[in-house]
């Protein structure tokens, strides 16, 4: 009896990681290229078959995790502004393309040398960490104060932005947290509050970041608000529609984001 041979090809995906988290892959690079080509996130999203919200969230994630912003939004003007890649963004895209071509050649060469299907599948198997959260930031722990049960951690983001988290001492030990360690901070959009004039108001949280509103998406119940707090770092909040109307939030306007230190989730590689 003749046994059919199933030809197995070797393929793989290339990713740039930050703190073991997926940062830039071919889909995000393609989106950046389309944004640079078309000058608009919405046009790029349509060209790639993405919904606008998905494309916007990806751009915010990439900007938040990059050392310097990769995408720059232009506001105002007769045409209503636009979007383009920063010099850093153009460099990252070009660098990725070079590495991607070398990666393709590597897999092609390796595939020609592997003829055992089981070994091939074991070789391709991997574990990747995926985090489902709107606000994900990378930084370095610059201070850690231990209490009887909990510890206060200060993480410095790019541009010197300082974020405070409170987690249990057990988590500190399990994660091996200490000053100098690179970590990522995650905050749910629903945990972020928005204000427009809080500079002279005393609040019980260290995490108060003010900046420029870059997005307002109204819904019948909730409104999504994005605020750039500096160096391309975007904080996203989901608040009630009524609250957004009362605050008079508009793109280009001033707003402050606030969230409790206990609302921050900390992770490390």
* DSSP string computed for 3-52: PPPPP-------EEEETTEEEEEHHHHHHHHHHHHHS-HHHHHHHHT--H
Tell me how far the alpha carbon of residue 182 is from its chain's centroid: 15
Q: Mind listing the domains of the chain with CATH numbers?
A: 15-111+119-124 (1.10.10.10), 140-182 (2.40.50.100), 189-261 (2.40.50.100)
More confident residue, 199 or 100: 100
Residues 226/229/232/75 CA torsion (nearest 10 deg): 60
For position 130, what pLDDT does the model report?
47
- Residue 124 has a pLDDT of 45
Query: Which range, of 56-60, 120-124, 211-215, averages the lowest pLDDT?
Result: 120-124
pLDDT in tens, 123-165: 444 323 345 567 889 899 999 999 999 999 999 998 899 999 9
d(CA 25, CA 14): 6
What is the average per-residue pLDDT within 83-102?
86
pLDDT of residue 111: 64
pLDDT of residue 12: 67
pLDDT of residue 21 exceeding 80, the answer is no
Angle 219-190-251 from CA coordinates, rounded to 5° = 50
Answer whether residue 237 shows pLDDT above 80: yes
- Give 75's pLDDT tier (boundaries 50, 70, 90): low
Average pLDDT, the chain: 82
Higher pLDDT, 53 or 19: 53
């Amino acid at each position: 009896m003749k046994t059919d041979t199933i030809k197995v090809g070797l393929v793989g995906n290339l990713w740039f990681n930050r703190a073991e988290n997926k940062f830039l892959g071919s889909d995000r690079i393609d989106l950046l290229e389309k944004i640079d080509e078309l000058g608009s996130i919405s046009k790029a999203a349509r060209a790639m078959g993405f919904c606008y919200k998905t494309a916007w969230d990806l751009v915010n994630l990439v900007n938040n995790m990059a050392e310097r912003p990769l995408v720059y939004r232009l506001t105002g003007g007769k045409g209503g502004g636009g979007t383009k890649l920063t010099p850093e963004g153009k460099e990252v895209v070009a660098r990725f393309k070079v590495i991607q071509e070398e990666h393709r050649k590597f897999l092609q060469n390796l595939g020609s040398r592997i003829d055992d299907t089981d070994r091939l599948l074991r070789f391709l198997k991997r574990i990747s960490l995926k985090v489902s959260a709107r606000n994900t930031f990378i930084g370095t722990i610059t201070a850690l104060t231990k209490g009887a049960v909990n510890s206060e951690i200060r993480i410095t983001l790019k541009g010197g932005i300082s974020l405070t988290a409170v987690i249990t001492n057990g988590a500190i030990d399990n994660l091996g947290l200490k000053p100098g360690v690179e970590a990522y901070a995650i905050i749910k959009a629903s945990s972020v509050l928005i204000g427009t004039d809080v500079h002279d108001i005393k609040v019980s949280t260290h995490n108060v970041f003010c900046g420029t509103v870059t997005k307002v998406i109204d819904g019948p119940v909730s409104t999504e608000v994005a605020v750039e707090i500096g160096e391309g770092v975007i904080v996203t909040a989901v608040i009630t529609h009524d609250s957004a109307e009362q605050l008079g939030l508009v793109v280009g306007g001033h707003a402050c984001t606030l969230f409790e230190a206990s609302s921050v989730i900390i992770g490390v590689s």
